[in-house]
Amino acid sequence: MATPDDTAPRTATLDLPLTASRDVSILLLLADKPIPAVVAQFGTYHDIFTGLFRRGIRLAATEHGAQPGTEGSGHKLTIDSFNVVEGHFPSDDQLSKADGMLISGSAASAHEDESWILDLMSFIKALPSKNASLKLLGICFGHQVIARAYGGTCERSPKGWEIGTRRIEMTQRGKQLFEGNEKIKIHQMHRDHVPTVPEGFDLLGSSSGCDVHGMVRFVEDEGAPHTVENVSILTLQGHPEFNSTIVNEVIDMREAKGVISHELAEESREYAGEHDDGDWIGRMFLRMFGV
């Protein structure tokens, strides 16, 4: 059963740009730990996601002509992390005060019935009753477990692994939310997928290796326009928080363990070296919170 985290969660506080009009609080649910080679270079997933938001804040600041070191508005972005694999979840009080929640990726499969995955699904289902205005983000495993919690399915992909930077062809809805871009490039590390978008969600984009690369659900208000500020849930199959070094370290580990073949590892390393739009996607996440 999901229980509130009685220990102090890991916390990061970042200065928001001059244009920010309020503080923002995001709860980060960690569904895994990075491999040791990644921790040694980039820290935990708390550190890696904090880095993504920090880079997104810098991009937001430069959009308005701010010089480096002058982006602070006095308002803060606070990120509190919880290890849901070990059964740690935010309390109802923390949920009531939060603006958003992000569920991380994981080496675990979202279609399995491990107790912590079932607890996480129950927690997701209860969120609207705890804080109806909370915005939910899901990355890779997070994308898949949210789909499952909302009545969809997750399964092993018949197309196999998708690793490295891949080009996502955006739908009309995806282009609408991602500033008109017809394509985005984002790091991948998955062989599970969501085969169809659950009811109530719109598809964001697809690749040759994965039909459902993200989905969106808007606030339940008939008069509310379908803008990024009115997004209630947004998920991505890819990893905007990853970089080529992280992906290559995971490729090396999985090849050494025989999880992927040498041929797939070599092909994936080539993809991993390509440019990705991860930082810009981090900036787009901030738009959901009016930043």
Tell me the per-residue pLDDT of 226-237, one tens digit each, with 9 for 90 and over: 999 999 999 999
- Confirm whether 252 is domain-assigned: no
Question: What is the CB neighbour count within 10 angstroms for residue 132?
Answer: 10
For residue 57, what are its two tokens? 């804040």
- Confirm whether 169 is domain-assigned: no
- Confirm whether 248 is domain-assigned: no
- Confirm whether 255 is domain-assigned: no
What is d(CA 174, CA 290) in angstroms, rounded to the nearest whole number? 19
At 60, which CATH number? 3.40.50.880
Q: Could you please report the per-residue DSSP string of 123-192?
A: HHHHHHHH-TT-EEEEETHHHHHHHHHTT---EE-TT--EEEEEEEEE-HHHHHHTTT-SEEEEEEEESE
pTM comes to: 0.94
Q: From residue 286, how far is each of 16, 195, 266, 282 by CA, in Å? A: 10, 28, 35, 7
Q: Calculate the average pLDDT of the chain.
A: 94
Asked whether 276 and 165 are in contact (CB, 8 A), the reply is: yes
Task: Given the residues 71, 162, 241, 249, select the one marked as catalytic.
Answer: 241
Say whether pLDDT at 18 is over 70: yes
Going by pLDDT thresholds of 50, 70 and 90, the confidence category of residue 220 is confident
111 flagged as catalytic: no
Say whether pLDDT at 253 is over 60: yes
140 flagged as catalytic: yes
Q: From residue 13, how far is each of 76, 99, 196, 262 by CA, in Å? A: 6, 14, 37, 41
What was the pLDDT predicted at 39?
97
Instruction: Give the phi and the psi of residue 131 in degrees, each rounded to 5.
Output: -160, 95
Say whether pLDDT at 245 is over 90: yes
- Confirm whether 120 is domain-assigned: yes
How does pLDDT run across 60-100, given as a tens digit for each residue?
A: 998 877 654 555 668 999 999 999 999 999 999 999 999 99
Please give the residue range of the domain that contains residue 15: 3-156+192-243+278-287
Task: Given the residues 46, 71, 88, 140, select the one marked as catalytic.
Answer: 140
Task: Given the residues 143, 190, 193, 239, select the one marked as catalytic.
Answer: 239
- Total tally of structural domains belonging to the chain: 1
241 flagged as catalytic: yes
- Confirm whether 262 is domain-assigned: no
- Confirm whether 176 is domain-assigned: no
Asked whether 56 and 279 are in contact (CB, 8 A), the reply is: yes
Element (H, E) at 26: strand 24-30
Asked whether 104 and 139 are in contact (CB, 8 A), the reply is: yes
What is d(CA 36, CA 33) in angstroms, rounded to the nearest whole number? 9
- Confirm whether 14 is domain-assigned: yes
Nearest to 172 by CA among 164, 161, 181, 184: 181
Nearest to 106 by CA among 215, 212, 33, 192: 33
